[in-house]
A and B are shown apart, each in its own frame.
Chain A
Amino acid sequence: DVKVTQSSRYLVKRTGEKVFLECVQDMDHENMFWYRQDPGLGLRLIYFSYDVKMKEKGDIPEGYSVSREKKERFSLILESASTNQTSMYLCASSPVRGGQYNEQFFGPGTRLTVL
């Protein structure tokens, strides 16, 4: 079974702190994604990466950066956390087979609260 793990299930940080959210997948997937999920707004893509050291902006990249130094690990960084970044953060990975983008496998999520 594919396993996607996230470093924390719950996290509480203060405004202005630098926050690191880590995601690791064990299935050698090429693609990795970071989303946030908020009531009434659904899942929104922050960044995705299709290879090591490669990244693409999603729909809401402002206030976030990412790092992918190894294929299995994709980190989301909040340089200076703000209260409007309180949310559920979900990481996902997916394989590429025959040039087709396939289903995504999600981690359990990190519920971040910024005070």
Chain B
Amino acid sequence: RKEVEQDPGPFNVPEGATVAFNCTYSNSASQSFFWYRQDCRKEPKLLMSVYSSGNEDGRFTAQLNRASQYISLLIRDSKLSDSATYLCVVTTNAGKSTFGDGTTLTVKP
């Protein structure tokens, strides 16, 4: 079993749709959690950190459930520019990061 597992995707949604991605992790020593976005042939870039209390940044909401070892990302009112691969990242208290394989989102007009 992989340390970090994401929904396999791909997700194909119309503009304006709400879409949710899930991610589970197996290492209970995990300390920090992030969602990254990666565009085709580009490097990953931080989308948002994920906090225990949940956090929101505009149309994006991230949630963390430590008991279930589960992270989610919700995108509301999808835009064409949201099309990308979304990577879930889990970092242990020793500083080692593990990336999920990513979920590809395509937003269509």
A-side interface residues toward B, CB under 8 Å? Answer: 31, 33, 35, 40-45, 48, 50, 56, 58-59, 90, 96, 100-109
Chain A residues within 8 Å of B89, by CB: 104
Number of chain B residues whose Cβ lies closer than 8 Å to a Cβ of chain A: 22
CB distance from B95 to the nearest CB of A (A): 5
**Interface of B (DSSP majority class):** strand
If A42-B100, A45-B98 touch, whether A103 touches B34 (CB-CB below 8 Å) is yes
Q: Is B28 an interface residue (CB 8 A)?
A: no
Q: Which residue of B lies closest to A91 (CB)?
A: B43
Q: Which residue of A lies closest to B101 (CB)?
A: A42
Does B99 contact A31, Cβ atoms closer than 8 Å? no
Contact with A along B62-87 (1 / 0, CB 8 A): 00000000000000000000000001
Does A58 contact B96, Cβ atoms closer than 8 Å? yes
Q: Which residue of B lies closest to A50 (CB)?
A: B95
Chain A residues within 8 Å of B102, by CB: 42
**CA of A111 to CA of B34 in the docked complex: distance in angstroms?**
25
CB distance from A8 to the nearest CB of B (A): 14
**CA of A105 to CA of B43 in the docked complex: distance in angstroms?**
9
Chain B residues within 8 Å of A48, by CB: 95-97
Q: B97 is contacted by which of A41, A100, A104 (Cβ under 8 Å)?
A: A104
- Contacts A42-B102, A56-B94 given; 18 further ones with Cβ under 8 A? A33-B97, A40-B101, A41-B101, A42-B101, A45-B96, A45-B98, A48-B97, A90-B43, A90-B44, A101-B32, A101-B91, A101-B93, A102-B49, A104-B89, A104-B97, A105-B46, A106-B44, A108-B43
Does A106 contact B95, Cβ atoms closer than 8 Å? no
**CA of A59 to CA of B4 in the docked complex: distance in angstroms?**
13
Q: B31 is contacted by which of A43, A90, A100, A103 (Cβ under 8 Å)?
A: A100
